[in-house]
Chains A and B, each alone.
Chain A
Amino acid sequence: MTTALFAVAGAVAVAAAVMVVTSRRIVHAALWLVVTLGAVAGCFGALQAEFVALVQILVYVGAIVVLVLFALMLTKAPTNPLPTLTTGRSPFAAAIAVVLALLLGAGVVFAFGNQKIEPVPAGSANAIGTSIFQTWVLPFEILSVLLLAALIGAIALSQRKKED
């Protein structure tokens, strides 16, 4: 059951991701990204990681994609199809990506080809909460500082200088 669910969500994710990197309209790409991220969240769910799935939808779909759309708006991105979407290196980049995929895929299959994921009890949010606030509390706090720093950095970067 979960396998089937995962397979469906995965297929959607891959298809949407292909659209993200190939779409001629940038806004469409952003919207396809939403689909991809949602599908990945579905995958998380299929892996009984509901908390991560929810965070994924909240943060990515809710925040990041909105941010991206705002950025597109601010940079006056054309909504019509672009003639020169990719650089001249794109066939080369595709080849590299394919080689990398083969390499990694082969490695993965070699290493974990016989492993199976046993079904785990649902409701792991509790366990994650405990884990974060007991074992990982220090990295968590450092992460909050990092977020703060990123916040300040973003403000500093995007602030217009006086003379502009």
Chain B
Amino acid sequence: MIATVWRVAGVGFSLLLVLIAALLYGAAPEQASFLNSQIGDLTIGFAVRTDDLTVLLLAVVGVVATCVQVYSLSYLHERASSYHALVTLFTAAMATVVVSDSLFLLLIGWEVMGACSYLLISHYWERRDARSGAVKAFLMTRLADVGFLFGIFVLGVGAGTFRISELDPARISPGVLTAGTLLLLVGVVGKSAQVPLQTWLPDAMPGPSPVSALIHAATMVAAGVFLIARLYDVFSASSTTMTVLAIIACVTMLFAALCAMAAVEVKRVLAWSTVSQLAIMFSALSLGTREGRHAALFHLVTHAAFKGLLFLCAGVLLHQVGSAAFVVLRRYTRRGVLRNRLRVTFLTMTVGLAALAGVPGFAGFFSKDTVLEAAWDHAHHDGSVIGWVVLASVGLTASLTAFYCARLWLWVFFRSPALAGAIGAFEVDDPMADLEDPDTSKLKDASWLMLGPLVLLAVGALGLGYVDGLHLNWAIALGSTVLVLFGVLPAYSLWSRGADPRPAVLERELGVDRAYHGIFVGPVRWLAKLSVLGDRDVIGAYVRAAGRSGTLASQGLRLLQTGNVQTYLTGAVVGVVALAILAGVIAR
């Protein structure tokens, strides 16, 4: 009953967002502030605004949220009420971030999203990986949010206002501007899982797939991109921040793409690819030009469509097969059933992967080309080093992306001729793999409640590329197509030979996670133990010693109680004499 109410509320609320976005489309930008209070000469309160950016993001959030809510109706049956309630709360928080004109309102939405993400990742709280992934996700973003909060302080106090629309970079001193934006960048890096705070996103995958689609692909992690786009004037006024952003983005996109190449689970591949694609958006933003901002937002929209689609497809695999690990999926594939039985899923996933890889004609191709074009323009016309670096790394990433997309597509859906039906390269993950053949008779495609959103998003992944108006730079388009081919061909050749070489260093994701564990988690645990012991054995010991010394002193004083009247009297007389002498001395 309650679950039904929340289901209806969830779907209704997401549709409402779409409706609001449609109504606001083309409307003049407006602002309103409310519930203000005065702290010294600063105003702390809430404010909202509407403009193009708001409408764009509201539409993205609304559509993806609607898809996810509808999809979840069929996907998820246990704990549905809390799930739908939290997804709705998340959607509301994201909408708050999008419409906010007050840094504090934005922060509220920002962190409520984080909390919802935490609660939704741990939706399957009986699973160990879900629990630890959720905690990790929340703590890492929380750590980054501390920087974000300080950034708000620096900028807000420096500019004398916490209203986004009133932040004028010209009126803020350069030092404050750089410090503030760098601190804000910390929050952005955490939320969007960029290097060095990237490790939480792949570990957040034990959450339900629709949640991964909504939160960890389409919206929440893209909030960082939105924030920089929102504060673009402020950010682009500080070249230091933009350089740092460019470095982070370039390192991240390559790092994440490399990790994705070695991942052996569909959702983990997708998670790393999300990190990598977000980095592409950041690299576009780091150019500091209008084209860059436009390219980033364009890529954000198309990425929301195809990455949401891909996660929902992975969800179908999980729902129908029971796992999204390559090794399990291969067992179905070698019997040739996966592709045939899950035909809609296969087709939509193909569209999604093509868009992700940047196959010409698909949405991802156009948006990535816009990024490349913006980088080229910046590099070529302005002679900027950042432009060249971004251009090079995005190009390289395009190749790597194409590689892991092709690898995923081929290994999951196609029998490798060289292996003649054997599971091949992934058997090391499960020594029992060959002994047990899954029962494939009951495998069928999901209900249309789940497939409908897939189709809708697949249409988006196909068509969104043309929405922006076709203006291709043919040289770049050709170049990127070649790069994609450079990625696809090795993947095909490896697959056809039945080999999947995964360097150990990439499988361990360069050991970052373990290093963080050693550097932060261990010492904190040790300090916690120390602090408990310190309280008990140092501070507590002082308190106990104070009590003990009181007891001891009283026991010592008891010895004076000899019972002999004359002793007492002697003491009294001595006291009188002493007092008399003292009185004489004082009088003197």
Binding site for B on A (CB under 8 A): 87, 89, 92-93, 96, 99-100, 103
Contacts and interface: CB of A to CB of B under 8 A. Distances in A.
A101 to B, nearest CB: 11
Contacts of A92: 570
Contact of B566 (A89, A100, A103): A89
Contacts of B566: 87, 89
A93 B574 CA distance: 9
B581 interface: yes
Given A87-B566, A89-B566, A89-B567, A103 B580 contact: yes
A93 B577 contact: no
B560 to A, nearest CB: 14
B567 A96 contact: no
Contacts of B574: 96
A103 B580 CA distance: 8
B418 interface: no
B577 A89 contact: no
Nearest to A92: B570
Nearest to A87: B566
Contacts of A99: 577
A100 B570 contact: no
A103 B567 CA distance: 22
A93 B567 CA distance: 10
A96 B580 contact: no
B573 interface: yes
Nearest to B564: A87
Interface of B: 566-567, 570, 573-574, 577, 580-581
Nearest to A100: B577
Nearest to A103: B580
A60 B570 CA distance: 27
Nearest to B576: A100
A87 B580 CA distance: 26
Contacts of A93: 570
16 contacts: A87-B566, A89-B566, A89-B567, A89-B570, A92-B570, A93-B570, A96-B570, A96-B573, A96-B574, A96-B577, A99-B577, A100-B573, A100-B577, A103-B577, A103-B580, A103-B581
Nearest to A93: B570
Closest 5 CB pairs of A and B: A100-B577, A96-B573, A99-B577, A103-B580, A96-B574
Nearest to A99: B577
B567 to A, nearest CB: 7
Contacts of B570: 89, 92-93, 96
Contacts of B567: 89
Nearest to B574: A96
A46 to B, nearest CB: 30
Contacts of B577: 96, 99-100, 103
Most buried by A among B567, B570, B581: B570
A92 B577 CA distance: 13
A103 B573 CA distance: 13
A89 B564 CA distance: 12
Nearest to A97: B573
A86 to B, nearest CB: 10
B581 to A, nearest CB: 7
A96 B570 CA distance: 9
Contacts of A96: 570, 573-574, 577
Contacts of A100: 573, 577
A84 to B, nearest CB: 14
Nearest to A89: B570
B588 to A, nearest CB: 12
A13 B580 CA distance: 27
B569 to A, nearest CB: 9
A92 B580 CA distance: 18
A87 B567 CA distance: 10
A5 B336 CA distance: 145
A93 B571 CA distance: 10
A89 B581 CA distance: 22
Contacts of B580: 103
Nearest to B581: A103
Contacts of B573: 96, 100
A4 B577 CA distance: 33
Nearest to B566: A87
A122 B581 CA distance: 40
Contacts of A87: 566
A89 B574 CA distance: 13
A103 B577 CA distance: 8
A3 B302 CA distance: 130
A163 to B, nearest CB: 26
Given A89-B570, A103-B577, 14 more contacts: A87-B566, A89-B566, A89-B567, A92-B570, A93-B570, A96-B570, A96-B573, A96-B574, A96-B577, A99-B577, A100-B573, A100-B577, A103-B580, A103-B581
A87 B569 CA distance: 13
